[in-house]
Structure 1
Amino acid sequence: MPVLARSSVALLALGLAVVFAPDAHALSKRDQAAVDALNQRMQAAETRYRQGLVAIANADPAGRTEVDASLEDMEDVMAACVKQKGCSPTTMLTAYKRLLKQNADVAAGDEVPEDNDDEGPGSVTADVPEAARAAALLSADGQQFVKMVQYNPAVQAGIRRWLTDMRPALIDSFENYQYMRQLMWPQFQRAGLPEALLFGVMAKESNGRVHSTSRAGAAGPMQFMYSTGRRFGLGEDGTGFDTRYDARASAQAAAEYFNERLGQLNRSIELSLAAYNGGEGRAQRVYGSTGGRNFWDESVYNQFPAETRDYVPMVIAAAWLFLHPKEYGLTLPKVDAHPAMLRLSKPSSIYELTICLGNGGTREGFMRALRNLNPRYEADRYLPTGTTLNATTKIVGLYGRYCVQGQRADLAHTLVISDASSAIVRTGPVTPLPSDDAVYEAESAGTGSAGAPAPSAPKARAKPSRPTSYTVKRGETLTAIAQKFQCDTGDLARANKLKAPRYSIKPGQKLKLKGCEG
């Protein structure tokens, strides 16, 4: 059962128990010993819970198991307390609420209590967002986004679109986000921004595809333009990688961007979204010239381009569905996205891993998850033994079972290294046919004096020259072209000024084959 659901049930049960708990007068030694044992179990469960949070903060996948198990221990203790004479459900409930409240304080950036020095700021909800959601039951502030936006017919029209022709994109966005949530959500949470806003923007901008790039040059899951990204710390990191494609970095930049806009635009999410899509300069001018009216005022709304007028309600609609899926009959998929590190036991590529891992109970397998979690690596790039990839506990388990050795591992390797050009069979030397121009010239020259064709001097066979350029065909990658012409992929990329790690090429593009053997 999810932490949030368990917390709700436990709090309700304990609340009722407080009302109907029997008075604890003189207790027998047996009852007192049982009460003491329950108190000790509760303290041990709290300690185990905190230790689990520390493990999660240190990227130890076992931490999540410890957290879940300790919460179950606490609930068992509280259930036993209700039945045990002399046990105070109020005391148990206070301990439970104190733990959740402490987590909420850490999430909000408050100082960590002295008896909890080993926990880092933000570690609780950054890595265990379910705990923060449970704590939200105590603060009654789980609808922050709903309070900040207007629900109107334009938003309803957006919801209709997401639930009809755009439903597959919404589902894909949700699945992709679940794998990246532990990287992105803490950045918004620390900035005091609602998670729904993060999801809505990401769904509309990229559907959660980290390597998405627009024709205008916007890049990454949050689609930052180059110049805007530079202002908020994104761009080339010195290794050739553009950090706009990094989920954590782009979420942090987006959080900073929205807080800057919200501070200038009267805390209006709609106007901040309009700035994100249509330009902050335009949004600021419109806001100033209309006396600070909201986005839906006609004098404001009509000053934004059609794309922005569509963008704002679509983001809000996606965010609304993220918060209220059941109301609209929307069943969002369960994604096993517990983070874990995968260390390669042999050279492999993301393509090869995708094949040998199989679907693993998912709709589309793990290629998108591996690509999103490891944006620095191209899917067809072979990674050496010992390379560490960001993955999930499920991927790590499937890797050990199917990708290290065995029939599926061998099959995946065979498929990945297959070369389509090797299917062409050559049976002997090829004599090229004369061109149409050569045939025409021979016919026009006529015959010799005896009516026979004039003899021609034999020509030496020219040594075939190595090609100096190549036109990209549909479906080809730079790595495949490099293999075809025996080039180094990096040299080929530099000769054609292609940026790592994407090495983006398109059909019809002409490449210089510098340094290739032909």
Structure 2
Amino acid sequence: MTYRTTRQWTLALAGGIALIGALSATSPTLLASPHPGAAPAHSSHHFWDDLNLEYLPGDAWERLRDNLEWHDRRHDARVQEWIDHYRANPGNIAEIIERARPWMAWINEQVELRGLPGEIGLIPFVESSYDPLARSHRGAAGLWQFMPGTADALGLHRHNGYDARLDVVASTQAALDYIELQAEQWYEGDIELSLAAYNAGAGTVNRARHAAAASGAPSDYWHLQLPSETMNYLPKLNAIAAIIDDPEAHGITLPEIDDAPAFAKVPVTAPINLAQLANTTGVNHTELAALNPGLTNGTASPATVDEVLVPIEQEEAILAELRAPAQSTPHEGAQYLVQRGDSLSAIAGRHGISVAELRRHNGLSGDVIHTGQQLEIPRRSLAAR
């Protein structure tokens, strides 16, 4: 079956063709784990477990089920093989779902807004085990596993302590754009072929289609001769969808996830240090950092990003802190514990202040500091107001 998208493109047609041409000329852009259920080692406890969220009877899973479209694919023998694989490893699926908790509802919403099959929201299960910090040995990174060249072509920049491939909001929008754009440009709206190209590269898929046509064979995804990783790509995706659609039948217990985003977007109008923001507002720093994995040095600047993500239930308190006038007492500030390898210049840069100011604030006469030393960071550097 062919699925046609209806979203109006913001890219001009010529620009879209140029983009696809550049991407299709490269080697495969993304890496899918050979065993998507085999997630990286993590503690069984996640800080999201401690959030005091009130779950609604109609949760994110119900919304996802309503948008699943590829039910017929589950009868394919390859899909059944992967269903059996996942059923034999239910703990891995459960752990991946825990990592998906803060993102699932929002990604479901983005997929739904574009009129795409709900299965698209499960691609991070296959690509990264839903780990925003996942990196492959081939250089792919993030929830959607973008290679550097593909990321550059899609505007996912990496500079000044920021990697947009790790930014869940930015990378999700880019991934959905990419999937839709390839479907329209190459495959007459066929999302399944676009997903194959997402994994293997459009050049690989197009060559396989030309070979199939030359031999008189069908040229849809399920009949093509593609690399084994790509031939397993959609079976894995459909197997995960089948399990989520009826978890009890497959021996899987899904945690309840509210059908509303777990985070809010706060505009960045001045430099923000996440550690200091957490310290002054009482927000869990680990939680705040996990919501902003693209901020690789823990700071946000208007020159780099437009917004940071914060826990939805603490949005008002954080906004109030960022909008508060500068304190009149210059020596009120956050504490920083010097780590191995730190220098005054590095610490000052991370907090958006000068070395001279850091020296003066802490009564230092030189640049010598030692591991374990406690420095006070001027409060006004949390956001240069």
Deviations along 1:319-357, one digit per CA (max 9) or x if unpaired, are 3223232321211112456435799xx98739988xx87
Asked if 1:168 is matched to 2:91, the reply is yes
Deviations along 1:415-464, one digit per CA (max 9) or x if unpaired, are x94x8xxxxxxxxxxxxxxxxxxxxxxxxxxxxxxxxxxxxxxxxxxxxx
Please list every run of 5 or more consecutive structure 2 residues that lacks an aligned counterpart in the other structure: 1-52, 301-306, 319-333, 351-366, 371-385
Q: 1:159: which partner in 2?
A: 83
Residue of structure 1 aligned with 2:156, choices 223, 234, 247: 234
- What is the CA RMSD across the aligned residues, in angstroms? 4.6
Q: CA deviation at 1:261?
A: 3.2
Give SS of 2:309's match: strand
- For 1:87-486, what aligned pairs fall within 5 Å after superposition? 133=63, 142-147=67-72, 149=73, 151-165=75-89, 167-199=90-122, 201-236=123-158, 239-263=160-184, 264-265=186-187, 267-291=189-213, 292-297=218-223, 300-301=224-225, 304-335=226-257, 338-340=262-264, 349=275, 367=286, 370-378=288-296, 381=298, 390-393=309-312, 417=337, 480-483=339-342
Structure 2: distance between partners of 1:279 and 1:348: 37
Contact persistence 2:161–2:296 (CA under 8 A): no
Q: CA deviation at 1:203?
A: 0.8
TM-score scaled by structure 1? Answer: 0.43
Structure 2: distance between partners of 1:283 and 1:516: 58
Structure 1: distance between partners of 2:294 and 2:176: 22
Contact persistence 1:350–1:371 (CA under 8 A): no
Structure with more contact order per residue of length (Cα contacts < 8 Å, sep ≥ 6) = 2
Contact persistence 1:271–1:294 (CA under 8 A): yes
Q: CA deviation at 1:282?
A: 0.4
Contact persistence 1:196–1:323 (CA under 8 A): no
Structure 2: distance between partners of 1:270 and 1:382: 38
Contact persistence 1:196–1:320 (CA under 8 A): no
Give SS of 1:144's match: coil
Structure 1: distance between partners of 2:250 and 2:132: 28
Contact persistence 1:340–1:396 (CA under 8 A): yes
Contact persistence 1:211–1:375 (CA under 8 A): yes
From the CA coordinates, give the structure whose radius of gyration is larger: 1
Structure 1: distance between partners of 2:299 and 2:152: 30
Structure 2: distance between partners of 1:271 and 1:223: 18
Which letter does structure 1 place at the counterpart of 2:310?
A
Q: CA deviation at 1:145?
A: 3.0
Deviations along 1:117-158, one digit per CA (max 9) or x if unpaired, are xxxxxxxxxxx9979949x9xxxx7442325x4532211221
TM-score scaled by structure 2? Answer: 0.55
Deviations along 1:86-115, one digit per CA (max 9) or x if unpaired, are xxxxxxxxxxxxxxxxxxxxxxxxxxxxxx
Contact persistence 1:220–1:245 (CA under 8 A): yes
Structure 2: distance between partners of 1:233 and 1:349: 28
Which letter does structure 2 place at the counterpart of 1:391?
V
Contact persistence 2:68–2:241 (CA under 8 A): no
Contact persistence 2:61–2:257 (CA under 8 A): no
Q: 2:12: which partner in 1?
A: none
Identity across the alignment (%): 24
Q: CA deviation at 1:179?
A: 1.1
Deviations along 1:247-276, one digit per CA (max 9) or x if unpaired, are 122122221222233332355444333211
Give SS of 2:162's match: coil
Contact persistence 2:132–2:167 (CA under 8 A): yes
When residues 145 and 246 of structure 1 are mapped into structure 2, their CA distance, relative to the original with a 3 A threshold, is farther
Q: 2:322: which partner in 1?
A: none
When residues 267 and 259 of structure 1 are mapped into structure 2, their CA distance, relative to the original with a 3 A threshold, is same
Contact persistence 2:247–2:253 (CA under 8 A): yes
Q: 1:488: which partner in 2?
A: 346
Which letter does structure 1 place at the counterpart of 2:146?
F
Flag the structure with higher helix content: 1
Flag the structure with higher strand content: 2
Q: CA deviation at 1:396?
A: 7.4
Q: CA deviation at 1:317?
A: 1.6
Give SS of 2:310's match: strand
When residues 169 and 342 of structure 1 are mapped into structure 2, their CA distance, relative to the original with a 3 A threshold, is farther
Give SS of 2:140's match: coil
When residues 394 and 168 of structure 1 are mapped into structure 2, their CA distance, relative to the original with a 3 A threshold, is farther
Structure 2: distance between partners of 1:257 and 1:156: 28
When residues 174 and 370 of structure 1 are mapped into structure 2, their CA distance, relative to the original with a 3 A threshold, is farther
When residues 162 and 391 of structure 1 are mapped into structure 2, their CA distance, relative to the original with a 3 A threshold, is farther
Structure 1: distance between partners of 2:340 and 2:232: 41
Q: CA deviation at 1:481?
A: 3.1
When residues 517 and 219 of structure 1 are mapped into structure 2, their CA distance, relative to the original with a 3 A threshold, is same
Structure 1: distance between partners of 2:131 and 2:188: 31
Structure 1: distance between partners of 2:273 and 2:189: 50
When residues 233 and 350 of structure 1 are mapped into structure 2, their CA distance, relative to the original with a 3 A threshold, is same
Which letter does structure 2 place at the counterpart of 1:174?
I
